[in-house]
Chains A and B, each alone.
Chain A
Amino acid sequence: MIQLRNSACGMKRELILTDQPIDESAFLRQRTMSANMGAAVYFLGAVRNQEQGTTISAIEYEAFEKMVAHQFGLLFAEIERRWPVESVRLTHRLGVVKVNEVSLVVEVIAPHRAEAFAACQWLIDEMKRVIPIWKKALAT
């Protein structure tokens, strides 16, 4: 499990890789927003019961954790450069995640919804392009 937090200056960043179920309520409760922030965008990714046309029961996620942490650091730095985002928090499950369980939660906080949506969409798109996490479908 990896937990990285950085809020000493600039954009607040939090990355958690965990083999434990994601507590969505706790994730929401931990939100902190400054008075001049008006938008918090959330994304939850859940495991579907279909993978490439086959019915599955779970997905097993594997990560090159050290590189995941570094590459997310680069993505967070790019978000800070491109948008006026106050905070990004992301938790990704590793190991076996059953169908319907949440594998990913992301929170992006910004002054307005446009930049919050844009930064969140960009982060997830880039994650799927460069973050070294792989999945293996487990049959029913």
Chain B
Amino acid sequence: MQITIQFFSYLKELTGCAQSSETLAAGATLGALHDRLLEQFPRLAPMRKSILLAVGVDYQSRDYVLQDGDEVSLFPPVQGG
């Protein structure tokens, strides 16, 4: 299945891209995708615990099972106001 990934804020600078895509086996979890991205973009590793994960417009936990076509977003802690 194909998953689209968006990076926000300084994660774009750390990865060198705003958007990416990954092909994953059916049943893959958001946590598995997160781990794969940390390997692919080692500069994200120091933020492993603080990176927030969303699928579509909702926050999801690492055990969320991804669906084909999901749009996953990774971003640092939010700072509005």
A83 to B60, CA, bound (A): 27
Q: A67-B54, A70-B58, A130-B59 are in contact. Are A62 and B80 (CB under 8 A)?
A: no
Given A92-B81, A130-B78, A133-B78, 5 additional A-B pairs, CB 8 A: A127-B81, A130-B59, A131-B80, A132-B52, A135-B79
Q: Interface size on A (CB < 8 Å)?
A: 24
A133 partner, pick from B6, B54, B56, B80, beta carbons under 8 A: B80
Least CB distance, B18 to chain A, in whole angstroms: 11
Whether A45 contacts B81 in the complex (CB less than 8 A), given A62-B9, A132-B8, A132-B75, comes out as yes
Cβ contact within 8 Å between A64 and B73: yes
- The reply to whether the CB of A81 lies closer than 8 angstroms to some CB of chain B is no
Interface string of B61-79 (1 = CB under 8 A from A): 0000000000001011011
On B, residues with C-beta under 8 Å from A are 6, 8-10, 52, 54, 56-59, 73, 75-76, 78-81
Q: How far is the CA of A19 from the CA of B27 in the complex (A)?
A: 41
With A and B bound together, what is the CA distance between A2 and B56 in angstroms? Answer: 18
A129 within 8 A of B: yes
**Can you give 26 A-B contacts (C-beta < 8 A)?**
A61-B80, A62-B9, A64-B8, A64-B73, A67-B54, A70-B57, A71-B57, A92-B80, A92-B81, A104-B81, A127-B80, A127-B81, A128-B78, A128-B79, A128-B80, A128-B81, A129-B78, A130-B59, A132-B73, A133-B78, A134-B8, A134-B75, A134-B78, A134-B79, A134-B80, A135-B79
Within 8 A of B (CB), among A87-133: 92, 103-104, 124, 127-133
